Protein backbone atom coordinates (compact mmCIF):
# COMPACT_ATOMS: atom_id res chain seq x y z
CA UNK A 1 0.00 0.00 0.00
CA UNK A 2 1.35 3.44 -0.96
CA UNK A 3 1.04 5.73 2.04
CA UNK A 4 0.89 9.52 1.70
CA UNK A 5 4.02 11.26 3.03
CA UNK A 6 3.81 13.40 6.19
CA UNK A 7 3.83 16.57 4.04
CA UNK A 8 0.80 15.32 2.06
CA UNK A 9 -1.08 15.32 5.35
CA UNK A 10 -0.41 17.21 8.55
CA UNK A 11 2.77 16.16 10.36
CA UNK A 12 2.02 14.10 13.48
CA UNK A 13 1.79 15.90 16.80
CA UNK A 14 4.00 15.34 19.82
CA UNK A 15 1.70 15.20 22.86
CA UNK A 16 3.47 15.68 26.20
CA UNK A 17 2.47 15.34 29.87
CA UNK A 18 1.91 18.24 32.24
CA UNK A 19 1.33 17.30 35.87
CA UNK A 20 2.13 20.84 36.98
CA UNK A 21 2.56 24.32 35.57
CA UNK A 22 6.35 23.88 35.65
CA UNK A 23 6.05 20.67 33.62
CA UNK A 24 3.76 22.43 31.13
CA UNK A 25 6.32 25.19 30.68
CA UNK A 26 9.08 22.61 30.22
CA UNK A 27 7.07 20.77 27.54
CA UNK A 28 6.30 23.98 25.66
CA UNK A 29 9.94 25.14 25.81
CA UNK A 30 11.16 21.73 24.59
CA UNK A 31 8.94 21.65 21.51
CA UNK A 32 5.65 19.90 22.34
CA UNK A 33 2.79 20.37 19.86
CA UNK A 34 0.25 19.69 22.61
CA UNK A 35 0.22 19.13 26.36
CA UNK A 36 -2.29 17.16 28.38
CA UNK A 37 -3.31 17.90 31.95
CA UNK A 38 -6.04 17.25 34.51
CA UNK A 39 -7.96 18.77 37.38
CA UNK A 40 -7.20 18.11 41.04
CA UNK A 41 -9.90 15.47 41.44
CA UNK A 42 -10.99 11.97 40.44
CA UNK A 43 -12.08 13.00 36.93
CA UNK A 44 -8.61 12.17 35.60
CA UNK A 45 -6.54 9.00 35.79
CA UNK A 46 -3.56 10.60 37.51
CA UNK A 47 -5.33 11.78 40.64
CA UNK A 48 -2.16 11.92 42.75
CA UNK A 49 -1.56 14.22 45.69
CA UNK A 50 0.53 17.23 44.67
CA UNK A 51 -0.26 16.88 40.95
CA UNK A 52 -2.67 18.52 38.55
CA UNK A 53 -4.13 21.98 38.12
CA UNK A 54 -6.41 24.49 39.78
CA UNK A 55 -8.68 26.60 37.60
CA UNK A 56 -6.29 29.55 37.89
CA UNK A 57 -3.32 27.39 36.87
CA UNK A 58 -5.21 26.03 33.86
CA UNK A 59 -6.02 29.55 32.69
CA UNK A 60 -2.36 30.49 33.04
CA UNK A 61 -1.21 27.30 31.33
CA UNK A 62 -3.64 27.64 28.43
CA UNK A 63 -2.57 31.24 27.86
CA UNK A 64 1.12 30.29 27.90
CA UNK A 65 0.62 27.30 25.59
CA UNK A 66 -1.52 29.20 23.11
CA UNK A 67 1.02 32.04 22.93
CA UNK A 68 3.45 29.43 21.58
CA UNK A 69 0.94 27.73 19.29
CA UNK A 70 0.69 24.66 21.55
CA UNK A 71 -2.63 22.91 22.15
CA UNK A 72 -3.96 22.02 25.60
CA UNK A 73 -5.82 18.73 26.00
CA UNK A 74 -7.70 18.12 29.24
CA UNK A 75 -7.79 14.54 30.52
CA UNK A 76 -11.29 13.71 31.74
CA UNK A 77 -10.56 10.05 31.36
CA UNK A 78 -11.99 8.21 34.35
CA UNK A 79 -15.49 6.75 34.39
CA UNK A 80 -18.22 8.82 35.98
CA UNK A 81 -19.77 7.55 39.19
CA UNK A 82 -23.24 6.47 38.05
CA UNK A 83 -24.71 7.70 41.35
CA UNK A 84 -23.41 11.24 40.84
CA UNK A 85 -22.04 11.96 37.35
CA UNK A 86 -22.38 15.71 37.94
CA UNK A 87 -18.65 16.33 38.74
CA UNK A 88 -17.63 14.81 35.39
CA UNK A 89 -20.15 16.92 33.45
CA UNK A 90 -19.08 20.03 35.37
CA UNK A 91 -15.42 19.28 34.57
CA UNK A 92 -16.25 19.08 30.85
CA UNK A 93 -18.05 22.43 31.03
CA UNK A 94 -15.07 23.88 32.89
CA UNK A 95 -12.61 22.62 30.25
CA UNK A 96 -14.54 24.46 27.55
CA UNK A 97 -14.77 27.60 29.67
CA UNK A 98 -11.03 27.58 30.43
CA UNK A 99 -10.06 27.28 26.77
CA UNK A 100 -8.97 23.64 26.39
CA UNK A 101 -8.56 22.60 22.76
CA UNK A 102 -9.87 19.07 23.32
CA UNK A 103 -11.10 16.66 25.98
CA UNK A 104 -9.61 13.20 26.46
CA UNK A 105 -12.63 11.11 27.45
CA UNK A 106 -13.51 7.48 28.18
CA UNK A 107 -17.05 7.49 29.57
CA UNK A 108 -19.97 7.44 27.11
CA UNK A 109 -22.12 9.52 29.47
CA UNK A 110 -19.47 12.26 29.43
CA UNK A 111 -19.18 11.97 25.64
CA UNK A 112 -22.96 12.31 25.33
CA UNK A 113 -22.91 15.40 27.54
CA UNK A 114 -20.20 16.97 25.37
CA UNK A 115 -21.98 16.05 22.13
CA UNK A 116 -25.23 17.65 23.34
CA UNK A 117 -23.92 20.62 25.36
CA UNK A 118 -20.44 21.38 23.99
CA UNK A 119 -20.58 20.58 20.25
CA UNK A 120 -17.61 22.82 19.43
CA UNK A 121 -15.19 20.96 21.70
CA UNK A 122 -12.99 18.25 20.15
CA UNK A 123 -13.23 14.82 21.75
CA UNK A 124 -10.26 12.46 21.93
CA UNK A 125 -11.06 8.89 22.95
CA UNK A 126 -8.93 7.98 25.96
CA UNK A 127 -6.87 4.81 26.13
CA UNK A 128 -9.07 4.05 29.15
CA UNK A 129 -11.94 3.32 26.72
CA UNK A 130 -9.99 0.24 25.57
CA UNK A 131 -10.88 0.60 21.87
CA UNK A 132 -8.65 -1.85 19.98
CA UNK A 133 -10.42 -2.10 16.59
CA UNK A 134 -11.52 0.32 13.87
CA UNK A 135 -15.11 -0.87 14.34
CA UNK A 136 -15.08 0.21 17.98
CA UNK A 137 -13.48 3.55 17.13
CA UNK A 138 -15.98 4.17 14.33
CA UNK A 139 -18.78 3.55 16.83
CA UNK A 140 -17.46 6.38 19.02
CA UNK A 141 -17.09 8.67 15.98
CA UNK A 142 -20.56 8.04 14.64
CA UNK A 143 -22.34 8.23 17.98
CA UNK A 144 -20.35 10.91 19.80
CA UNK A 145 -18.25 12.70 17.18
CA UNK A 146 -14.87 11.53 18.50
CA UNK A 147 -12.07 12.96 16.33
CA UNK A 148 -9.01 11.17 17.72
CA UNK A 149 -8.47 7.85 19.50
CA UNK A 150 -5.55 6.87 21.75
CA UNK A 151 -4.77 3.19 21.25
CA UNK A 152 -4.02 0.85 24.19
CA UNK A 153 -0.41 -0.28 24.48
CA UNK A 154 -1.40 -3.91 23.83
CA UNK A 155 -2.02 -3.21 20.12
CA UNK A 156 0.73 -4.40 17.76
CA UNK A 157 2.18 -2.25 14.96
CA UNK A 158 0.50 -4.23 12.17
CA UNK A 159 -2.84 -3.89 13.97
CA UNK A 160 -2.34 -0.11 14.14
CA UNK A 161 -2.01 -0.03 10.34
CA UNK A 162 -5.27 -1.95 9.93
CA UNK A 163 -7.07 0.36 12.36
CA UNK A 164 -5.88 3.47 10.52
CA UNK A 165 -7.04 2.00 7.20
CA UNK A 166 -10.50 1.35 8.65
CA UNK A 167 -11.38 4.69 10.23
CA UNK A 168 -11.25 8.42 9.54
CA UNK A 169 -10.59 9.09 13.24
CA UNK A 170 -7.04 10.35 13.95
CA UNK A 171 -4.94 7.72 15.71
CA UNK A 172 -2.61 8.51 18.61
CA UNK A 173 -0.15 5.98 20.07
CA UNK A 174 2.08 5.91 23.12
CA UNK A 175 5.70 6.66 22.19
CA UNK A 176 7.55 6.63 25.50
CA UNK A 177 6.87 6.00 29.17
CA UNK A 178 5.73 3.48 31.72
CA UNK A 179 4.11 0.26 30.59
CA UNK A 180 1.14 -1.62 32.00
CA UNK A 181 0.53 -5.33 31.49
CA UNK A 182 -3.23 -4.84 31.66
CA UNK A 183 -5.52 -3.46 28.96
CA UNK A 184 -6.03 0.08 30.15
CA UNK A 185 -9.49 0.70 31.54
CA UNK A 186 -10.14 -2.97 32.30
CA UNK A 187 -7.85 -3.58 35.28
CA UNK A 188 -9.37 -4.58 38.61
CA UNK A 189 -6.17 -5.79 40.30
CA UNK A 190 -5.77 -2.97 42.81
CA UNK A 191 -9.53 -2.95 43.45
CA UNK A 192 -9.00 -6.37 45.07
CA UNK A 193 -6.78 -4.82 47.70
CA UNK A 194 -8.27 -1.36 48.13
CA UNK A 195 -11.96 -1.78 47.35
CA UNK A 196 -11.70 1.24 45.04
CA UNK A 197 -11.71 1.14 41.26
CA UNK A 198 -8.82 2.88 39.49
CA UNK A 199 -11.27 3.48 36.66
CA UNK A 200 -13.29 6.03 38.62
CA UNK A 201 -11.01 6.91 41.57
CA UNK A 202 -8.29 7.98 39.14
CA UNK A 203 -5.41 6.09 40.71
CA UNK A 204 -4.28 2.45 41.16
CA UNK A 205 -2.95 3.00 44.66
CA UNK A 206 -4.98 5.63 46.54
CA UNK A 207 -2.80 7.62 48.95
CA UNK A 208 -5.13 6.67 51.81
CA UNK A 209 -4.31 2.97 51.21
CA UNK A 210 -0.50 3.28 50.90
CA UNK A 211 1.68 2.63 53.95
CA UNK A 212 5.49 2.89 54.16
CA UNK A 213 6.97 1.05 57.16
CA UNK A 214 10.60 0.99 58.27
CA UNK A 215 11.53 -2.61 58.94
CA UNK A 216 14.73 -4.66 59.06
CA UNK A 217 16.93 -1.76 57.96
CA UNK A 218 14.76 -1.10 54.91
CA UNK A 219 11.28 0.10 54.04
CA UNK A 220 8.20 -1.99 53.29
CA UNK A 221 5.41 -0.79 50.99
CA UNK A 222 1.89 -1.97 51.70
CA UNK A 223 -1.36 -1.34 49.90
CA UNK A 224 -4.27 -1.56 52.33
CA UNK A 225 -2.27 -4.00 54.43
CA UNK A 226 -1.03 -6.13 51.51
CA UNK A 227 2.79 -6.26 51.43
CA UNK A 228 3.84 -5.54 47.85
CA UNK A 229 7.57 -4.79 48.18
CA UNK A 230 10.49 -4.30 50.56
CA UNK A 231 13.33 -1.95 49.65
CA UNK A 232 16.87 -1.98 50.97
CA UNK A 233 18.28 1.17 52.61
CA UNK A 234 19.88 2.45 49.36
CA UNK A 235 17.41 0.94 46.92
CA UNK A 236 15.29 3.30 44.75
CA UNK A 237 11.61 3.14 45.72
CA UNK A 238 8.99 3.04 43.01
CA UNK A 239 5.34 4.02 43.12
CA UNK A 240 3.77 1.10 45.03
CA UNK A 241 1.46 -0.82 42.69
CA UNK A 242 0.45 -4.46 42.98
CA UNK A 243 1.38 -5.30 39.38
CA UNK A 244 4.98 -4.09 39.85
CA UNK A 245 5.52 -5.46 43.34
CA UNK A 246 8.08 -8.13 44.24
CA UNK A 247 6.70 -11.31 45.75
CA UNK A 248 8.10 -14.58 47.12
CA UNK A 249 7.00 -17.47 44.89
CA UNK A 250 8.44 -20.98 45.33
CA UNK A 251 11.23 -19.54 47.45
CA UNK A 252 12.27 -16.89 44.95
CA UNK A 253 11.59 -13.17 45.23
CA UNK A 254 10.92 -11.40 41.93
CA UNK A 255 8.63 -9.15 39.92
CA UNK A 256 6.08 -11.90 39.34
CA UNK A 257 3.56 -9.93 37.27
CA UNK A 258 5.55 -7.14 35.61
CA UNK A 259 9.08 -5.81 35.76
CA UNK A 260 9.50 -2.04 35.90
CA UNK A 261 10.42 -1.03 32.34
CA UNK A 262 9.51 1.74 29.91
CA UNK A 263 8.11 1.70 26.39
CA UNK A 264 10.41 3.30 23.82
CA UNK A 265 9.25 3.24 20.17
CA UNK A 266 12.10 5.27 18.62
CA UNK A 267 13.10 2.33 16.40
CA UNK A 268 9.58 2.11 14.97
CA UNK A 269 9.07 5.83 14.52
CA UNK A 270 9.36 6.13 10.69
CA UNK A 271 7.16 3.07 10.23
CA UNK A 272 4.46 4.53 12.45
CA UNK A 273 4.71 7.93 10.74
CA UNK A 274 4.35 6.25 7.35
CA UNK A 275 1.27 4.35 8.52
CA UNK A 276 -0.43 7.67 9.25
CA UNK A 277 -0.25 7.84 13.06
CA UNK A 278 -1.36 11.42 13.81
CA UNK A 279 -0.01 11.87 17.31
CA UNK A 280 2.70 10.40 19.56
CA UNK A 281 2.11 10.52 23.29
CA UNK A 282 4.73 10.78 26.02
CA UNK A 283 3.51 9.18 29.26
CA UNK A 284 4.33 10.72 32.65
CA UNK A 285 2.11 13.35 34.24
CA UNK A 286 3.37 11.98 37.57
CA UNK A 287 7.00 12.67 36.56
CA UNK A 288 9.09 15.80 37.19
CA UNK A 289 9.43 18.89 35.01
CA UNK A 290 13.04 17.82 34.32
CA UNK A 291 11.78 14.49 32.92
CA UNK A 292 9.20 16.26 30.75
CA UNK A 293 11.74 18.72 29.38
CA UNK A 294 14.45 16.21 28.55
CA UNK A 295 12.15 13.53 27.10
CA UNK A 296 10.20 16.09 25.05
CA UNK A 297 13.43 17.56 23.65
CA UNK A 298 14.69 14.14 22.54
CA UNK A 299 11.37 13.18 20.96
CA UNK A 300 10.98 16.57 19.22
CA UNK A 301 14.29 15.99 17.45
CA UNK A 302 13.48 12.36 16.69
CA UNK A 303 10.03 13.06 15.28
CA UNK A 304 11.27 15.89 13.07
CA UNK A 305 14.07 13.72 11.70
CA UNK A 306 11.76 10.74 11.16
CA UNK A 307 9.23 12.85 9.25
CA UNK A 308 12.01 14.33 7.09
CA UNK A 309 13.40 10.85 6.43
CA UNK A 310 9.99 9.55 5.35
CA UNK A 311 9.40 12.58 3.11
CA UNK A 312 12.82 12.25 1.45
CA UNK A 313 12.87 8.45 1.32
CA UNK A 314 16.02 8.31 3.44
CA UNK A 315 16.86 5.80 6.18
CA UNK A 316 16.30 6.83 9.79
CA UNK A 317 18.71 6.00 12.58
CA UNK A 318 17.97 7.04 16.16
CA UNK A 319 20.66 9.33 17.54
CA UNK A 320 22.55 7.61 20.41
CA UNK A 321 22.22 10.85 22.41
CA UNK A 322 18.41 10.53 22.31
CA UNK A 323 18.55 6.94 23.53
CA UNK A 324 20.96 7.94 26.28
CA UNK A 325 18.68 10.75 27.43
CA UNK A 326 15.61 8.50 27.40
CA UNK A 327 17.38 5.66 29.20
CA UNK A 328 18.05 7.98 32.13
CA UNK A 329 14.31 8.33 32.62
CA UNK A 330 13.25 4.75 31.89
CA UNK A 331 11.60 2.75 34.65
CA UNK A 332 14.07 0.21 35.99
CA UNK A 333 16.67 1.77 33.61
CA UNK A 334 15.41 -0.50 30.79
CA UNK A 335 13.19 -0.03 27.73
CA UNK A 336 11.17 -2.25 25.42
CA UNK A 337 9.02 -2.09 22.28
CA UNK A 338 6.32 -3.77 24.35
CA UNK A 339 3.43 -5.19 22.33
CA UNK A 340 4.23 -3.07 19.26
CA UNK A 341 6.38 -5.98 18.09
CA UNK A 342 5.17 -9.42 19.14
CA UNK A 343 7.51 -12.18 18.01
CA UNK A 344 5.76 -14.65 20.32
CA UNK A 345 2.50 -14.71 18.31
Q: Taking Cα atoms as reference points, which of 42, 41, 37 lies closest to residue 17?
A: 37
Phi first, then psi: what are they for 73, rounded to 5°? -110, 130
The reply to whether 243 sits in an annotated binding site is yes
CB neighbour list of residue 270: distance below 8 Å, 6 or more residues apart: 306, 309, 310, 316
The reply to whether 180 sits in an annotated binding site is yes
CA–CA dist 17, 95 (Å, integer):
17
The DSSP letter of residue 42 is T
Diameter of the chain measured on Cα atoms? 62
Q: Would you say the C-alpha torsion 109, 112, 116, 119 has a positive or negative sign? A: positive
For residue 38, the number of C-alpha atoms closer than 13 Å in the C-beta half-sphere is 27
Q: Write out the DSSP string of 312-331.
A: HT------HHHHHHHHHTSG
CA–CA dist 173, 183 (Å, integer):
14
CA–CA dist 169, 125 (Å, integer):
10
> Residues annotated in the binding site, as ranges?
180, 187, 204, 243
> Residues annotated in the binding site for [4Fe-4S] cluster, as ranges?
180, 187, 204, 243
Amino acid sequence: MQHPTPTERARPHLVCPAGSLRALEAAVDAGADAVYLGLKDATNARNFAGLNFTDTQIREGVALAHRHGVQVLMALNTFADARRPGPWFAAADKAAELGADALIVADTAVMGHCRDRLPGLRLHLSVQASATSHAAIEHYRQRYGVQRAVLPRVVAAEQIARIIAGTSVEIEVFAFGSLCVMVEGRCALSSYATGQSPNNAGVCSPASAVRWQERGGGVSARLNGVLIDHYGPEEPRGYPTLCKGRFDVAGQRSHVLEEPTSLNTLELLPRLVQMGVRAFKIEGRQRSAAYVGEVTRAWRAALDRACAAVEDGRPFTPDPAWQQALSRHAEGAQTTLGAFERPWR
